Amino acid sequence: MPLARAIHNAISRWCRHAVLGLLVACIAGGAVAQAGPRRVVFLAQDFRNGGITTVYRSFEQACQELGWTLSVVNGKGDKAVIRRLFDEALAAGVDGIVLGGFDEADIADRLAATSRPPPALVGWHASAAHGPTPYLFANVSTDPHVVADMAVALVTPPSGGQAGVVIFNDSRFDIANVKTLRMRDALSRCARCELLAVEDLPIASAAKDVPAALEKLQQRFGKRWTHVLAINDIYMDSMHFPLQALGRGDIVGIAAGDGSRMALSRIRSGRSQQLATIAEPTGLQGWQLADELRRAFAKQPPSGRVAQPIAVTTELLRQLGPLEIDDLLPYRAEYRQQWSTSQQGRAKAGETPK
């Protein structure tokens, strides 16, 4: 089947990347040194965001593998709370902090204000760019341009007509703005697509604001409106019943991120108006966050890894059965091998792990 072959090809590409990565690391000067036990903090922007929750769970597993002490704090979508929690982590003298889903600019001045040596900082969706950034050792993310292009590619105009599209964005986040601009650009190249509007609604208040926004959009555009694109699944959480009440069970939803559990559940059922989500491989990314911190502790360069997003549809989920969308990617075995090799290298050199 086409999707089964696509999954097989994705795994093959991953395995080739993994083997090449290990060879390059050895050629460049040996395995990365094991950093030893560390104290790290995962600072979440808001655990109501399913992507943040799932990447945290995976990061927690990786920390257990490495023997690190992990603390987790929730900013609850409030910038002032996030800044206070960041200050507390700095004052506690932790070794590393993960920025879970909020922009690095939000805490830039806090770093300048502290007299302590800064901890290692990595982020998940903490910048519009992946890899090293002005304040982060590494930002872990798929390429938002690729995510946006994949979302727009799933927009199918109705037979003999045009697709009328509304985009839901949260302009507080650089990565969300990059996705939105890219989706706008991609839609402009679609001969049978029309961008009707961009709705700027905070993710934190989506459950409250989305129903009213849908009613206004229906009044404004009527049957011209056929599709919703959103920068995050959370907007789709509050769409189904309001759209049904408006008599618009025909509107198709596609999320350009991040593959939350709620989104996967409704897509799997095949009864939702959400056709698809362009999912982050959050299991893989949680382990990558730990690996980037480990590299920072060992004063080695970032990995440079950029994972590929996954277009998740009902058909794909039914083929996967009980598996998570990135379970077929052998990232756990790869990282365990790398980390084990690092420990063995230190032992042979006569070093005592911290």
| pLDDT tens-place string over residues 182-232 | 999 999 999 999 999 999 999 999 999 999 999 999 999 999 999 999 999
CA distance 290 to 293: 5
Sign of the dihedral through C-alpha 215, 253, 169, 208: positive
For residues 128-150, give the mean pLDDT. Answer: 97
Cβ(69)–Cβ(342) below 8 Å: no
Cβ(172)–Cβ(223) below 8 Å: no
| pLDDT tens-place string over residues 36-76 | 589 999 999 999 999 999 999 999 999 999 999 999 999 99
Task: Judge whether residue 349 has pLDDT over 80.
Answer: no
Buried b (16+ CB within 10 A) or exposed e, 193-202: bbbbbbbebe
| pLDDT tens-place string over residues 248-257 | 999 999 999 9
pLDDT reported for residue 351? 52
Average pLDDT, the chain: 89
Domain extents in the chain: 19-141+282-306+327-344, 145-279
Three-state DSSP string of the chain: CHHHHHHHHHHHHHHHHHHHHHHHHHHHHCCCCCCCCCEEEEEECCCCCHHHHHHHHHHHHHHHHHCCEEEEEECCCCHHHHHHHHHHHHHCCCCEEEEECCCHHHHHHHHHHCCCCCCEEEEECCCCCCECCCCCCEEECCCHHHHHHHHHHCCCCCCCCCEEEEEEECCCCHHHHHHHHHHHHHHHCCCCEEEEEEEECCHHHHHHHHHHHHHHHHHHHHHHCCEEEECCHHHHHHCHHHHHHCCCCCCEEEECCCCCHHHHHHHHHCCCCEEEEEECCHHHHHHHHHHHHHHHHCCCCCCCCCCCCEEECHHHHHHHCCCCCCCCCCHHHHHHHHHHHHHHHHHHCCCCCC
- Rg of the Cα atoms in the chain: 21
For residue 182, what are its two tokens? Answer: 């890219």
Provide the CATH topology of domain 19-141+282-306+327-344: Rossmann fold (3.40.50)
Pick the CATH number of 145-279 from 3.40.605.10, 3.40.50.920, 3.40.50.720, 3.40.50.2300: 3.40.50.2300
What percent of the chain stands above pLDDT 70? 86
For residue 84, what are its two tokens? Answer: 């206070």
pTM: 0.85
